[in-house]
A and B are shown apart, each in its own frame.
Chain A
């Protein structure tokens, strides 16, 4: 028997992975904000289905919400097709409208039942262990975990079965269409999965934080790799880190678990943003610095080579003359010279500089390189 704590952590990780998988495709297809639109709009579907069934645990809620999710996507695309409004404005119009209807319905007609806009916005994962799946007397754990697990399996099956199609239609929709992959169908199936995932997750993390789990881990993974398969894997892992780290943070601060998970995913993104190899801020800064030094040492070596070839006056290669010629200040000049000495490009006798044979070779290859 698992402790409630462990159950919450497992459920949180399940939610994170389930969200991260379709999230990867959302950000690669540049429709990240459709997750925001869908996760808000599904409220309407949940509310209407709830009024119909009077039961918050009914599978009809999942169905209604998924339907509204697809409705959101098609309404948005309908507005875009009229060419009266751009994509961003169309998204920004459709979902607030559907969401508003949902919120008004809740506030107006459901004030004394167990559904309110706060619980939809925020979710409450801490209550998940109380709602158990019991089949013929056997306690099989929190119901939420089974629902989320089912959706995860669904996402996983879809992505592995249509991996090739998804990949081609994401990176080259025209090619996908010409290969007969029906990119529009794939698009709508993906959006349906996003809707189902959002509905499954709304109960535990709420509609806005679903967005955090769908977008943030994949965005971080996007800075770590160029391969789709690795991006999926990294997103899932970073999602789990966000879930576990978020839970620890929530315990420490005695605050909302879902909010902490979102915050943690943001922190993880910032860490990746700064420290990622190659694409991180630090790596880019270091690379720029390195390029500067590389350029300076090369210039010095070339200068020495040219004065060598021209049999120039001796003063050409005196250290103090270097800085006038290159327009470097004396401090920088001595730093560059030190770097060149360290790299073995030049040697220094008294205050005269000359190339080593290695430096001469290198300078020659640089100037003979075609532009």
Chain B
């Protein structure tokens, strides 16, 4: 109940509501577009583009002397887009690889942005404050008008993804097939990346240029673990993005000296970790369980086989053997293996820790042996 009261109190605060709404929009948009970036193995494109927006923000301010978000974000979008175009041009026209081109654009644009920022700081107009929030983001300074801008851009981006869903899907999973269908893949490529630029621009005030890329990559990487279906992945990714965004933005606007971008990244990283470990089927936990199961299967099979060999040397096939004898030939967790076999009714135990096959066990062991020899023959004859 305390938690509910706490939440109700938080969300009755106007600022927090605005912040949470903005974070949700960012999370949904970034999660949605990020899925495509991650699936296309272009996770770091977002990193390059978001750094490349910095000079645009600074230049827009220098030229217009106006700090309204729309102007600054237009500048950001333009320079982010230019950075992306340069990455494409460099990788297409030279032998320089994508990672190098991304790293260059990222750092050189950011450096140029820094030059412009230092020039702005020395301006007499002294309205420089506020540009710094583009580095790490500051959710607390978000205004209602900012959130409206974000919503319009975000909804537009999501609407366009829905409209071009089929095309993007083919583009992501089979580029060559898309081309052979006569789709204009280059156009779609640029279009999809433009939507990513828009997403990044939405997030700049909230999480800043340095960590915006994590907003794109992490929700999608987490969602990927839960499903093999694109639609479900995009949906989950949007949910994760929104969840982490809201949690991070609210936390950082409540706690002083807590920058929003890093806080959101910590939340979303936690979601990724949980997904990597526990997602059904793909999670590492299930991998581990499957491996354990497989190992136990091999151990029980081997033990049955050994006991069959033993029983064939006796006149009575159900003659019990001492555990020490079994230990001499079987390796691994012997007790566990025997108990497992007993549970399945394949062996029975006698006084003095002696063990024997049951009727069922003998049948099973012979069956396994035949199967094994069948495999062996098939292998040696091939």
Interface residues, chain A, with chain B CB atoms under 8 Å away = 27, 30-33, 35-36, 40, 79, 82, 84-89, 91-93, 96-97, 99-101, 103-104, 107-108, 111, 117-118, 121-122, 208-212, 214-216, 219, 222-223, 249-250, 253-256, 258-263, 265-266, 269, 273, 279, 281, 284
Beyond A100-B214, A222-B100, A259-B114, 6 additional contacts (C-beta under 8 Å) are A36-B47, A89-B221, A100-B261, A107-B259, A254-B119, A266-B112
Cα(A108)–Cα(B257), bound, Å: 5
The reply to whether A96 and B104 form a contact with Cβ atoms under 8 Å apart is: no
Expressed in whole angstroms, the Cα–Cα distance for A259 and B115 within the complex equals 5
CA distance A118 to B114 in the complex (A): 11
Q: How many A-B contacts at CB < 8 Å in the complex?
A: 206
Q: Which of A91, A259, A261, A269 contacts B104 (CB 8 A)?
A: A269
B128 within 8 A of A: no
In contact, A255 and B118 (Cβ under 8 angstroms): yes
Whether B269 lies near A93 (C-beta < 8 A) is yes
Q: Which residue of B lies closest to A27 (CB)?
A: B100
Closest to A250 in B: B115
Count of residues in B whose CB is under 8 Å from the partner chain = 62
Mark the stretch among B38-46, B71-79, B189-197, B343-351 that contacts chain A: B38-46
Interface check B272, CB cutoff 8 A: yes
Shortest Cβ distance from residue B111 to the other chain A in the assembled complex, whole angstroms: 2
Q: Are A262 and B217 in contact (CB under 8 A)?
A: no
Query: Are A93 and B102 neighbours in the complex by a CB distance under 8 Å?
Result: no
A135 to B265, CA, bound (A): 45
Of chain B, the residue at the smallest CB distance from A263 is: B112
Distance in Å: Cβ of A71 to nearest Cβ of chain B: 15
Query: Beta-carbon contacts of B209-228 to A below 8 Å, as 1s and 0s?
Result: 01101101110110011000
- Closest A residue to B96 using CB positions: A219
> How far apart are the CA atoms of A118 and B266 in the complex, in Å?
20
In Å, the complex CA distance between A27 and B119 comes to: 32
Q: Are B38 and A89 in contact (CB under 8 A)?
A: yes
Per-position binary interface string of chain B over residues 57-100, scored 1 when its CB falls under 8 Å from any chain A CB and 0 otherwise: 00000000000000000000000000000000010011111011
Residues in B with CB closer than 8 Å to A259 are 111-115, 117-118
- Taking a contact as CB atoms closer than 8 A, the residue among A27, A40, A82, A262 that contacts B97 in the complex is A27
CB-contacts of B285-332 with A (<8 A)? none
Q: Given A117-B136, A215-B107, are A84 and B257 also a contact pair (CB < 8 Å)?
A: no
Give B215-262 interface residues, CB cut-off 8 Å to A. 216-218, 220-221, 224-225, 257-259, 261-262
Do B111 and A208 touch across chains, with their CB atoms under 8 A apart?
Answer: yes
Q: Tell which of A97, A215, A223, A269 touches B265, judged by Cβ atoms closer than 8 Å.
A: A97
B99-A30 in contact (CB<8A): yes
Q: Is the CB of B95 within 8 A of A92?
A: no
B282/A84 in contact, CB under 8 A: yes
* Interface presence of B33 (CB below 8 A): no
CB contact under 8 A between A92 and B217, given known A84-B282, A121-B135: yes
Chain A residues within an 8 Å CB radius of B119: 253-255
30 contacts between A and B (CB under 8 A): A30-B100, A33-B44, A40-B210, A82-B276, A84-B225, A84-B284, A85-B224, A86-B38, A88-B41, A91-B43, A92-B217, A93-B217, A100-B214, A100-B261, A100-B265, A100-B266, A104-B258, A104-B259, A117-B135, A208-B107, A208-B111, A212-B107, A212-B108, A212-B110, A222-B95, A259-B113, A262-B111, A266-B111, A273-B94, A279-B94
A contact residues around B51 at 8 Å (CB): 208
Measured CB to CB, the closest approach of chain B to A270, in angstroms, equals: 9
Residue B14 lies at the interface, judged by CB distance under 8 Å to chain A: no
**Chain B facing A: main interface SS:** helix
Residue in contact with B221 in the complex, picked from A85, A108, A284, CB distance below 8 Å? A85
Q: Is the CB of B284 within 8 A of A211?
A: no
Q: Does B29 contact A (CB under 8 A)?
A: no
Assess the A33–B102 pair: CB atoms within 8 A: yes
Tell me if B106 counts as interface (CB < 8 A to partner A): yes
CB closest chain-B residue, reference A269:
B104
Q: Known contacts being A100-B262, A273-B90, is A263 close to B111, with CB within 8 Å?
A: yes
Please determine whether B266 and A101 come into contact, CB atoms closer than 8 angstroms: yes
A369 CB to nearest chain B CB (Å): 29
- Check A269–B114 contact: CB distance below 8 A: no
Are A208 and B110 also in contact (CB < 8 A) when A253-B115, A273-B90, A284-B93 are?
yes
Q: Shortest CB–CB separation between residue B193 and chain A, in angstroms?
A: 15
Q: How far is the CB of A99 from chain B (nearest CB, A)?
A: 7
How distant is the Cα of A122 from the Cα of B221 in the complex, in angstroms? 30
Question: Would you call A100 and B112 a contact (CB within 8 A)?
Answer: no
Cα separation A107 to B262 with both chains bound (whole Å) = 10
Q: How far is B259's CA from A208's CA once the two chains are assembled, in angstroms?
A: 19
**Interface contact B262-A99, CB-CB below 8 Å:** yes
- Establish whether residues B114 and A103, one from each chain, have CB atoms under 8 Å apart when the complex forms: no
Cβ contacts under 8 Å, B166 to chain A: none
Convert B272-287 into 0s and 1s, putting 1 for each residue whose CB lies closer than 8 angstroms to a CB of A: 1000100000101000
Q: What is the CA–CA distance of A40 and B208 in the complex, to the nearest angstrom?
A: 15
Is B103 close to A, CB under 8 A? yes
- In the complex, chain B residues whose CB is within 8 Å of the CB of A256: 114-115, 117-118
- Tell me if B263 is interfacial: C-beta within 8 Å of chain A: yes
Contact of B122 with A by CB under 8 A: yes
User: Across the interface, do A265 and B266 meet the contact criterion of CB distance under 8 Å?
Assistant: no
Closest residue of chain B to A210 (Cβ to Cβ) is B107
Contact assessment for B259 and A103 in the assembled complex, using a CB-CB cutoff below 8 Å: yes
Residues on the B chain within 8 Å of A214, using CB:
103
